[in-house]
Amino acid sequence: MLLIRGGRVVNSQARRADPADVLIAGDTILEIGPPDLASPDDATVIEAQQRLLMPGLVNAHTHSHANLPRSLGDRWTLELHLNGNTAARENLTNEDKYLAAQIGAVDMIRKGCTACYDLIYEFPAPSVDGLNAVAQGYFDAGMRAVVAPMMADGIFYEAVPGLMDVLPEDLRAEIERKPRLKRWQEGLDVARKSLHQWPFDRDRVRVAVAPTIPAHCSDEFLVNAAKLTRDYDIGLHTHLAESKVQAIAGLELYDKTLTAHLEDLGVLGSNFTAAHGVWLDDEDMSRLADSGSMVAHNPASNMRLGSGMARVRHMIDCNLAVGVGTDSRSSSDNLNMFEAMRLASFTSRIQGPDYKRWLTTDEVFAMATVESAKVLGMADRIGTLAPGYKADIVFLDTRNPNYVPLRNVMDQIVNGEDGTGVASVMIGGRMVFEDGHMTTLDYDALVSKIENAVERLSTQGKQSTALANKLEEIVGSFCVGLARTPYHVHRYCGLP
C-alpha cells in the first residue's frame, strides 16, 4: 500500500484543488479522502506537500516511428511531410523501434503524460517483432500505450488524383520500384498473430489497428480491418480529412466525403477514432457522432502543417468524444501534452468572436484526460483520479513559477503549464519520473544509442532522401493547386 500525503487533488469540474490524501493498493487507487486519511501501518508514505495531484494526461494520437527521424522539414504541408518523411524511417531496425518508443515515452512522461495511442509505421509492412519491440519500449519505460500497426495497401502518390500523371517517368518508376505491402491480408495477419501471442499485460500495452489514411487503403482492406477490430474488440484508428488536399481527393475518388465513404463501408463505430478531422462538414460530424466514433484532435500538428483548425466546439455539440493528441515529433516537433492542451484551448478562441463558443479550460482538461482515455479504450481505468482507477498521477510543484501565485488552478494548468512544473510522475503506483530523472531507464545510455542509430539511418536513407528531394517541388506545387479548389467546409476552418 502507498499513501500520498499532504497534496492537493485537482478537481477539474469544480475548478479547485483541495487538500486530500490518496491511498493506493498495488496499481490502483483505493481511496481519496481528507488529510490524515487512515492507512495501514505498513503503508509506504509519499509526502506531497506543495504538490498538486492530477490524473496523467493521455495522448490520443502519436507515432513512435517518427521519434528518430524527427523534425525533418520546415515549411512542409501534410503532403510534403508524407513525401519527405519516408526516407529516414525505411531502415528502422527493431532495436531502433524500441529506442524510438523509449525516447517518446521519456518526452511524454516528463511532461505529465502517462498513456498514449501510438500508430506505428513499419517499412514495407508491419511485423510481429517490430510491434513487440515498440510495445517493449513503452513497457520498460513504465508507460501505458495502445500500439497500432499503421498500414495501407496503396501509397500516398497514388492517393492524390492526378499526381502520378505529372511525375517524370524516371521518378515515377523509382516510386513504383519501392517495396510495399502488396496484400492487405498480410498486414491484418500480423495484427491477428500479435493479438494471439501478445506477451504484455493488456492493461499496460495493448494492440489496435490503424489503416493509415482512407484513400491510401482499398475498400476491401478497410472493411476487413474494421471487421477484425470488432471481432477482437480492439481500437481502429485512421487519419481522417486531415488536410484540404485529402478532403478534395476524397470527393474526386468516391464522389462523397471521406467520412461518408467510411460510413458506407461500415467502418465507423464505437471503437473507431478519426485523427485530425479538420475538414469534416456538419454531416460528417453527425455521421461520426451517430456511430459512436471518436476524434483525436491534434492542434499543434494541424497548425505546423498548415492543415487548418478542427471545429471542436461543433464536434462537442454533436456529442462526439474528442481526445487530444500531439501527433508525431516530425509533424509537431514535441510530445508535450500540456502544450497540446494550451493550443486546443487557444485555437478554439480564434475561430469566431462568440466567446461562449470557445472551449473552457475544464473542457480541454477533460479532453486530454477522460476523453482521450475513451479513445484508448481505457476510460474505465485511466484519465480520472478516483477509487478503482489506476494510480497514474502527475505531481505538479506549486512552488514552480507556473503556480506562483496559485490563483486559478485550471487556467494555470491548461493555459499556463508548459511541462516545467512537473515534479514527479507515477504510473500504476510506480514512480517513473522523480527529481528530474526517469527511474525506469538509463537516459544517458538511451541518448548515445539513439545518436548512433540516427547516424546509421541518415547514411542508409540517402537514396530515398534524394528521391524525396527531387519530388518535393512537384508534389508541393501540385497539391497547392489542388488545395485552391473551393471546398464547402473551408469557411469554417480559418483558412483563406
The residues of the shown chain that bind Zn ion, judged by CB under 5 A, are 327
> Is the CB of 119 or the CB of 432 nearer to Zn ion?
119
Evaluate whether 41 touches 444 at the Cβ level (below 8 Å).
Answer: no
Residue 221 CB neighbours (<10 A): 21
Evaluate whether 294 touches 274 at the Cβ level (below 8 Å).
Answer: yes
DSSP states along 310-332: --HHHHHHTT-EEEE----TTTS
Query: Min. distance of Cβ 150 from Zn ion in angstroms?
Result: 8
> Is the CB of 64 or the CB of 102 nearer to Zn ion?
64
> Is the CB of 54 or the CB of 105 nearer to Zn ion?
105
For 184-247, strand residue ranges (E) read 205-207, 210-211, 236-240
The helix/strand/coil state of 391 is coil
Query: Min. distance of Cβ 348 from Zn ion in angstroms?
Result: 21
- Which residue's CB comes closest to Zn ion? 327
DSSP states along 287-299: HHHHTT-EEEE-H
Q: What torsion do the CA atoms of 86, 219, 248, 169 make, to the nearest 10 degrees?
A: 50
Q: Widest CA span of the chain, in angstroms?
A: 76
CA distance 150 to 199: 20
> Is the CB of 327 or the CB of 371 nearer to Zn ion?
327
> Is the CB of 116 or the CB of 143 nearer to Zn ion?
116
Of 316, 344, 173, 162, nearest to 253 by C-alpha is 162
Query: Min. distance of Cβ 35 from Zn ion in angstroms?
Result: 43
Query: Min. distance of Cβ 329 from Zn ion in angstroms?
Result: 11
Query: Min. distance of Cβ 354 from Zn ion in angstroms?
Result: 30
Query: Min. distance of Cβ 10 from Zn ion in angstroms?
Result: 29
> Is the CB of 82 or the CB of 341 nearer to Zn ion?
82
Evaluate whether 89 touches 70 at the Cβ level (below 8 Å).
Answer: no
Residue 340 carries which DSSP code? H
Evaluate whether 271 touches 229 at the Cβ level (below 8 Å).
Answer: yes
Query: Min. distance of Cβ 371 from Zn ion in angstroms?
Result: 18
> Is the CB of 122 or the CB of 327 nearer to Zn ion?
327
